[in-house]
Structure 1
Amino acid sequence: MIFSNTELFLVALIFMWAGFVRTGLGFGGAALGLPLMLLLGGSPLYWLPVIGLHLLFFSSLTLSKSLKQVDWKYLKYSLWWVIPPTLVGVFGLLALPDKVMIIFVYCITIFYAITWIFNQKITSHRSWADKVLLILGGYVAGTSLTGAPLIVAVYMRYVAKQYLRNTLFVLWFILVSIKMSTFVAVGVTIDWQLSLGLIPIAAIGHVIGLKLHEKIIQNDALFKRWVGLALLLISSFGLLKVFV
């Protein structure tokens, strides 16, 4: 894609925001960034490789000194339920028309936004429900990298708070590695120049998120309510733009 200077400035702001969310919450960089990117143009298949490369880069930096703070036992268990639907989702992304995928992204984002606005947490209290959420989260992650809230709902039950963010980063690293490997294998065009050029910009948000992580977690409901309102407006406009 060719961007104007104004569009490049907006892209930079979006990736700074995605980097901030990724480390501030420990998840959601793609879920809260992709709807904004799609408003500027392009398809999920254009933006997801860029997001994926950033996630691999920044999660590696974060985990390089924190691998001891990972719940490897639960991570290994959950992968049995997450990886198969992720693979199905990746091939769905490659096979489905761009318009269908854009509608899917906006609809799942609106769902998240509504739950955050009304402070309704996605939770499960039974083992079968945990498995359903992991499967659904894996599929959504495979199609659009926006399955984090579904998976996090389960991880929060079984992973201690001090291990949660790093364990999730390892999971995202594994899932995105699978996704990126598939993209390369089938010959998906990756905008390497844009991806690499945006890393310093996203790094600003990444660092800010690291510094504000504890404050965000302590004010989790308020943060998500305001973000939910913004996402609801953005995604609703995006859907309208698709159908008009």
Structure 2
Amino acid sequence: MEFSYSEWLLIALIFVWTGFVRSGLGFGGAALGLPFMLMVYDDLLYWLPMIGIHLLFFSALTLSSALKKVDWMYLRSSFRWIIPATLVGVFGLVSLPSQWLVVFVYSITLFYAVMWFLNRAIHSGNDWVDRVLLVLGGYVAGTSLTGAPLMVAVFARHVAAHYLRNTLFVLWFILVTIKMSAFVVIGVKIEWVTALALIPVAAIGHVAGLKAHEYILQNNARFKQVIGGMLILVSSIGLYMSF
């Protein structure tokens, strides 16, 4: 794609933002970044491989010294619900019309944004609800990589707080590996040069997010309310433009 200088600047800022969210919260880089990317260029299959490359790189970087702080037991038990749903979602991504997928991403993001703005959380109280959320989260992750908040609601109930972020990073790494493998197999064009060129930009946000992680956790509700309000506006505009 040929973008203008102003569009490249905007793209760089968006990738700084996704890096910050990914390392600051431990999830949500795609969910909070894709709506902005789609405002620049509304093709999900253009952005998702780049997001995938970044997620693999930064997850591996973060986990290189933290694999002992991962709840492997719960991670393995959750895969029987998440992986099949993710594969179905990947199939939907490559077979559904592009406009439907764009509307899907904005709609999912709008749902998260309203929940956060109203200071409401997705809760799971029993095993059946856990399974439903894991299946839904896996499907949404397979379709658009924005299923993190659904699965986090379940993992937060079963994984100790000091293991949660690293366990989620392993989960994202595995899901994105599946997704990227599918892209390669079916011949989706991957903008490797652009993705690699944007890694240093995203690294700025990644480092800032690591430093802000504890502060964000201590002010989680306020942070999500501000982000929720911003995403309500962006997603509403995106849906309007899509229709």
Q: What's the TM-score bracket when you normalise by the shorter of the two chains?
A: over 0.9
User: Offset at 1:42?
Assistant: 3.5
Q: Aligned to 2:198, what secondary structure does the other structure show?
A: helix
Q: How big is the alpha-carbon RMSD for the aligned residues of Structure 1 and Structure 2? A: 0.4
Q: For 1:83 and 1:232, how far apart are their aligned partners in 2?
A: 30
Q: For 1:32 and 1:95, how far apart are their aligned partners in 2?
A: 24
Query: Which position in structure 2 is the counterpart of 1:25?
Result: 25
Query: Which position in structure 2 is the counterpart of 1:189?
Result: 189
Give the aligned residue type for 1:196.
Answer: L
Question: Identity across aligned pairs (percent)?
Answer: 65
Pair 1:48-2:65 in alignment: no
Pair 1:74-2:112 in alignment: no
Query: Which position in structure 1 is the counterpart of 2:211?
Result: 211
Q: For 2:228 and 2:63, how far apart are their aligned partners in 1?
A: 28
TM-score, with length taken from structure 2: 0.99
Q: Aligned to 2:149, what secondary structure does the other structure show?
A: helix
User: Offset at 1:192?
Assistant: 1.0
Give the aligned residue type for 1:151.
Answer: M
Give the aligned residue type for 1:215.
Answer: Y
Give CA-to-partner distance per residue, 1:19-43, whole Å, 9 cap, x none: 0000000000000000000000131
Give CA-to-partner distance per residue, 1:100-121, whole Å, 9 cap, x none: 0000000000000000001110
Q: Which runs of 5+ in 2 are unaligned?
A: none
Q: For 2:193 and 2:4, how far apart are their aligned partners in 1?
A: 15
Give CA-to-partner distance per residue, 1:58-104, whole Å, 9 cap, x none: 00000000000000000000011100000000010000000000000
Q: For 1:217 and 1:148, how far apart are their aligned partners in 2?
A: 17
User: Offset at 1:2?
Assistant: 1.1
Query: Which position in structure 1 is the counterpart of 2:237?
Result: 237
Give CA-to-partner distance per residue, 1:160-202, whole Å, 9 cap, x none: 0000000000000000000000000000001111101100000
Query: Which position in structure 1 is the counterpart of 2:156?
Result: 156
Q: For 1:193 and 1:98, how far apart are their aligned partners in 2?
A: 23
Detail structure 1 runs of 4+ shifted over 4 Å in the superposition.
none
Query: Which position in structure 1 is the counterpart of 2:60?
Result: 60
The number of residue pairs the alignment matches comes to 243
Give the aligned residue type for 1:31.
Answer: A
Query: Which position in structure 2 is the counterpart of 1:172?
Result: 172
TM-score, with length taken from structure 1: 0.99
Q: For 1:41 and 1:55, how far apart are their aligned partners in 2?
A: 20
Q: For 1:54 and 1:99, how far apart are their aligned partners in 2?
A: 25
Give the aligned residue type for 1:131.
Answer: R
Q: For 1:82 and 1:73, how far apart are their aligned partners in 2?
A: 15
Q: Which runs of 5+ in 1 are unaligned?
A: none
Q: For 2:101 and 2:70, how far apart are their aligned partners in 1?
A: 33
Q: For 1:109 and 1:44, how far apart are their aligned partners in 2?
A: 14
Does the CA-based 8 Å contact 2:42-2:102 persist in structure 1? no
Q: For 1:75 and 1:101, how far apart are their aligned partners in 2?
A: 28
Does the CA-based 8 Å contact 2:21-2:209 persist in structure 1? yes
Give the aligned residue type for 2:232.
Answer: L
Q: Aligned to 2:42, what secondary structure does the other structure show?
A: coil
